[in-house]
Amino acid sequence: MPTGSKAKKTADILNYAKVKSQIRSGEIHSVYLLCGDEAFLIDKLVHSLQEFVLEPASADLDRVKYDIDGNSNRLDLNKLKAEIQTPPFMSKRKLIIVKNSGLFTAGNGRRSSVEKKQDESDDSDNGGFDLNSNTGSHKDRQNALLELIAQVSDQTCLVFVEAKFDKRLKSMIKVVQENGIVAEMPYENPKILKQWVEAECKQRGLTITSGAADSLVDRCELSMRVIWSEMEKLFLYTEYVKTNGIDEETIDLISLPDLRGNIFDLTDAISKGDTGRALVLLDTLIRQRQPLQLIQFMFARHFRQLICAAESRDSNLLIKKLKVPPFVAGRLLQQARQFSLPVMERIYELSFESDMMVKTGRMNDRLVVETLIVRAGEAAKIQSRR
């Protein structure tokens, strides 16, 4: 579909590759709803739209941005309407970007009790709703936004960027799709991320070992933004030392600390009842300036994953369900055999109790985590004595 034509009706929720392909071919829509956890891909799509529809000389005039921070009350719909109706100065289209409007969810977390009652009313009517008013209900503002979306012409490209959207809001999705597209960018699976890392290295004449690529992806918790940041560091390092190879030793030297690997080592010590070794490893993490709350979260998540491993006993199922690299799935299955299921469930329960201690202020963070390690070690020792 060429630029300047109305968007084709579709019931599909598109992915990154499909939207990127459309932009490259000149198929530009009047309305975009871009959602998902992978903000890196969303940003790339917005950048691609900017490059295609905006003239550099008038980009500042033809681009309008709103960051609502999830509070729909902050979105001035009357002002948005005025921007939609104002033609571009020199560009192909006027680009209007609305980030985190909060209007594509069933409810707004920052509503007053009065608004909540209005939202629950079955006879909500936006007939007299003032676009510039902040007193209407969440549903009123959604209805008013739908009317605006239906008015967007071919001279405008209206882009909504949302971390989450409620797929049950079928009427909103339908109106967006009638005037444009809905696209979702979840976190990519580890296999795709590994291929991406390898491709970026190859493009720069670099080779990266399979283990190094796996390690880099895992350390960055599947976040493409973090992975890219770490890759930029690696590219600068290889240029500085004049090498074209990246191995696991390079990753250890340059990239983020291997927090998951340290949690595996700490858990190995606990499984052997070696609480002293586990506390030494914990102290190493703290000296690396790893936040105590993150350590506690990673520890709890690790035992939840070990429980999944013990119950499934299937590496492929773990890779799909937990979205972990194959080497992590294999190590989870191996480590899960070192504990009985009741002990793992008990340690996971202890992690929850420790979290509550921090939140209620009964202990400071470090003492809570140290106590958790000691209690986990005791649970493992009881198992070994049986």
The CATH code of the domain that includes 267 is: 1.20.272.10
Rg, C-alpha atoms of the chain: 25
Residues 141 and 266 both lie in one domain: no
| Residue-wise pLDDT tens digits, 59-95 | 999 999 999 888 888 889 999 999 999 999 999 999 9
The CATH code of the domain that includes 239 is: 1.10.8.60
Q: For the chain, which residues score pLDDT lower than 50?
A: 1-10, 108-129, 132-133
Q: Which of 219, 226, 225, 214 is nearest to 190 (CA)?
A: 214
Question: What is the sign, positive or negative, of the torsion defined by CA atoms of 36, 39, 45, 50?
Answer: positive
CA distances, 32 to each of 128, 150, 268, 341 (Å): 28, 12, 48, 47
Residues 140 and 207 both lie in one domain: no
For residue 107, the model assigns a pLDDT of 67
Residues 33 and 69 both lie in one domain: yes
Last residue of a domain, one of 132, 164, 184: 184
Domain range for residue 299?
259-385
Residues 51 and 113 both lie in one domain: yes
Residues 21 and 162 both lie in one domain: yes
Asked whether 139 and 123 are in contact (CB, 8 A), the reply is no
- Number of compact structural domains in the chain: 3
Last residue of a domain, one of 254, 280, 297: 254
Residues 163 and 226 both lie in one domain: no
For residue 238, the model assigns a pLDDT of 96
The CATH code of the domain that includes 40 is: 3.40.50.300
For residue 386, the model assigns a pLDDT of 53
Residues 302 and 220 both lie in one domain: no
Residues 126 and 235 both lie in one domain: no
List, in order, residues 6 or more apart from 295 with CB less than 8 Å away.
Answer: 259, 263, 282, 285, 286, 369
330 exposure class (CB count in 10 Å sphere: 0-12, 13-18, 19+): middle
For residue 5, the model assigns a pLDDT of 43
Residues 120 and 204 both lie in one domain: no
**Which ranges of 25-158 would DSSP assign to H, the alpha helix?**
39-53, 59-62, 77-85, 113-120, 138-150
263, part of any domain: yes
For residue 262, the model assigns a pLDDT of 93
Asked whether 54 and 91 are in contact (CB, 8 A), the reply is yes
Please name the amino acid found at residue 276: G
| Residue-wise pLDDT tens digits, 235-249 | 999 999 999 999 999
List, in order, residues 6 or more apart from 210 with CB less than 8 Å away.
Answer: 194
Residues 301 and 212 both lie in one domain: no
Last residue of a domain, one of 228, 254, 280: 254
